[in-house]
Amino acid sequence: MSADQPLGRRTLLASGMALVASAVVSFARADDLPTSDPRMGPRVIGSPDAKVIVDEWFSLTCSHCAHFAQEIFPQIRKNLIDTGKIRYRFHDFPLDQVALLASMVSRSLPAERYEPFVTDLLDHQDEWAFAQNIDPIAELKKRAALFGVSAAEFDKINADNALRESIINRQDRDGAFLQIQGTPYFRINDVPAPDVVGSYDDFAKAVAKAS
């Protein structure tokens, strides 16, 4: 399975405006550094005592990310996260303007709602992002409402160019430092793990090797 390819910063910030509806420090540790904006804090699930830390960079409009979320991640959660074997960190790496806005919305939710919302968007990607004759921004707004984001709050998030730029700045840093060529991209205990996307068995073997 090949990864979806990232777009450049210029493409993501081409308009500089909100969308309308119609290396010294380890990369992962950097996400744990204090930030003035709590929305940019780490988004993590799993036991803090786990010996293995898995990091995933994903885009909410990446079809390969959606496949991984639907077919493989449920087993990872059940067998590895819920059992305390791994700690799982999420990193936004939007590939287009729609994914960028989706990341902004997910980052604006309370931290405990971040992963459920991200999982929901990936599980229903074909419905809100790629269905025929729909406006993906309007559909994203509907799904956000299910997680407590009012229409006014959604519009405020959409207009928040400071948050938009913060996400892109972090994406630029990670992409350059780690040479990320596409999503999903994985590291296990700070080591690249390119072979874990194919199946749960491949993922579990890589985790066992790192344990």
**In this structure, what DSSP letter does residue 4 have?**
B
Q: Dump pLDDT digits (tens) for 64-119.
A: 999 999 999 999 999 999 999 999 999 999 999 999 999 999 999 999 999 999 99
Tell me which DSSP letter residue 79 carries: I
Does residue 23 carry a pLDDT above 50? no
Find out if CATH 3.40.50.10300 is the number for domain 52-210.
no
* H-type alpha helices, the chain: 9-12, 27-30, 63-71, 73-76, 97-108, 111-123, 125-128, 136-145, 151-158, 161-178, 200-210
User: Dihedral through CA 159, CA 163, CA 164, CA 169, nearest 10?
Assistant: 160
Asked whether the beta carbons of 62 and 181 are under 8 A apart, the reply is: no
Radius of gyration for the alpha carbons in the chain, expressed in angstroms and rounded: 16
What does the domain layout of the chain look like in residue ranges?
Answer: 52-210
Task: Count other C-beta atoms under 10 Å from residue 194's C-beta.
Answer: 11
Tell me: pLDDT of 38 over 90.
Answer: yes
Q: Considering the chain, what is the average pLDDT of its residues? A: 89
For residue 7, pLDDT over 80 is answered with no
Tokens of 37: 């904006």
How far from the centroid of its chain's Cα atoms is residue 72's Cα?
Answer: 16
Q: How confident is the model at residue 19 (pLDDT cuts 50, 70, 90)?
A: low
Provide the whole-model pTM: 0.87
